[in-house]
Amino acid sequence: MNRSLKRTIVVSIIIVVAIILGLIVDLVWGNIEKSVHPDDHLEYVRKYAYEYNVPESVVFAVIKVESNFDTRAESSAGARGLMQMLPSTFEWLTGDEHLGENLHKSELFDAEVSIKYGTYYLNYLYQKFDRNWNTALAAYNGGEGNVAKWLADPEYSDGEGNLTNIPFKETANYVDKVNKEIDTYKKLYYEDQKEVNEP
C-alpha cells in the first residue's frame, strides 16, 4: 500500500469520526436544551394557543421567562402561576366582560387555568396593540396603560404602533428575553413543522 493511499484512508477515517462525533454532540446538546426548555403542559398550551390564536412558541416562551414552569410561582408583586398573572387582572378577565367564569384567584396556581387565561390575555393585548407581538409582550409585563402612553409619545414610538424605545428597563429586558426564548422554542420544537398561529 503506497503512502498516498494510506494518507487518504487516514483522512477518510478522521472525517467519518468527526461527523459521528458532531452528530453525537448535536444529539446530546439538543437533549440538554430540551431539558432546559421543556414543553411541559403541552396539551394545555396547544389547546389554548389554538383557541385564542397565539403561537405555541410565544406561550412557552412567556411561561419560561415568567415562572420557569413552576406552577406555584408567586412574585413579590403577587403575580401567580405559570404565566404570572396578577389576581386583579385575572379577576377582570374572569368577569362577564371577558370569559365570564368568575374564578377565585387561587385558581391561578392551576396549570390549565394559568395557561388559559395567560394565553387569552396575550391574544387580547395582541389585538389591542395592532397585532404587534413586541408591543403585546411589553404590555403583558409593563401594563396596558403604560404601553398606550408610550405609543402616544414620539420619544418612545414611531407613530405607527411600534415601540422604538421602552422606558422601563425591566420591560425592555423582558421583551428581549421572551423573543430569545421564542426563537429557542421554534428551533427545538417547530423547526421541522409549521407552528400553529406562527408569528
* 94 domain-assigned: yes
Instruction: State whether 68 and 125 are in the same domain.
Output: yes
* 77 domain-assigned: yes
Quick check: helix, strand or coil at residue 78? coil
Instruction: State whether 79 and 24 are in the same domain.
Output: no
* 78 domain-assigned: yes
Instruction: State whether 66 and 123 are in the same domain.
Output: yes
* 56 domain-assigned: yes
Instruction: State whether 60 and 142 are in the same domain.
Output: yes
Annotate 99-125 with DSSP letters as a single string.
Answer: T-----GGGGGSHHHHHHHHHHHHHHH
Higher-scoring residue by pLDDT: 197, 184 = 184
Start-to-end C-alpha separation, the chain: 59
Instruction: State whether 62 and 159 are in the same domain.
Output: yes
Mean pLDDT of 132-155: 96
Angle, helix 111-128 to helix 56-67, in steps of 10 degrees:
110
Instruction: State whether 4 and 61 are in the same domain.
Output: no
At residue 13's C-alpha, the angle toward residues 9 and 16, to 5°, is 140
Is a pLDDT exceeding 90 seen at residue 113?
Answer: yes
Alpha helices of the chain — where are they, by DSSP H?
3-36, 42-51, 56-67, 87-94, 111-128, 133-142, 144-152, 169-189
Residue 128: how many CB atoms within 10 A of its CB? Answer: 15
Q: Kindly report, residue by residue over 40-68, the tens digit of the pLDDT.
A: 999 999 999 999 999 999 999 999 999 99
Instruction: State whether 5 and 78 are in the same domain.
Output: no
Residue 37's pLDDT band, with cuts at 50, 70 and 90, is confident
* 81 domain-assigned: yes
* 179 domain-assigned: yes
Instruction: State whether 91 and 151 are in the same domain.
Output: yes
Which domain range does residue 26 map to?
Answer: 1-36
Q: Considering its fold, how many domains does the chain have in total?
A: 2
Is a pLDDT exceeding 80 seen at residue 18?
Answer: no
Residue 14's pLDDT band, with cuts at 50, 70 and 90, is confident
The mean of the pLDDT values for the chain is: 88
* 59 domain-assigned: yes
Mean pLDDT of 102-122: 97
Q: Give the whole-angstrom CA distance, residue 40 versus residue 9.
A: 47
Q: Give the whole-angstrom CA distance, residue 154 versus residue 170.
A: 20
148 φ, ψ (degrees, to nearest 5): -60, -40
Is a pLDDT exceeding 90 seen at residue 36?
Answer: no
Instruction: State whether 165 and 82 are in the same domain.
Output: yes
Q: For residue 84, what is the domain's CATH number?
A: 1.10.530.10
Report pLDDT for 8: 72
Is a pLDDT exceeding 70 seen at residue 161?
Answer: yes
Active site residues per annotation: 66
Q: What is the pTM of this model?
A: 0.82
Q: Give the whole-angstrom CA distance, residue 153 versus residue 133.
A: 19
Mean pLDDT of 124-149: 96
Instruction: State whether 45 and 9 are in the same domain.
Output: no
Mean pLDDT of 19-46: 72
Q: Give the whole-angstrom CA distance, residue 133 versus residue 139.
A: 10
Instruction: State whether 1 and 75 are in the same domain.
Output: no
Mean pLDDT of 9-21: 65
Instruction: State whether 16 and 73 are in the same domain.
Output: no
* 195 domain-assigned: no
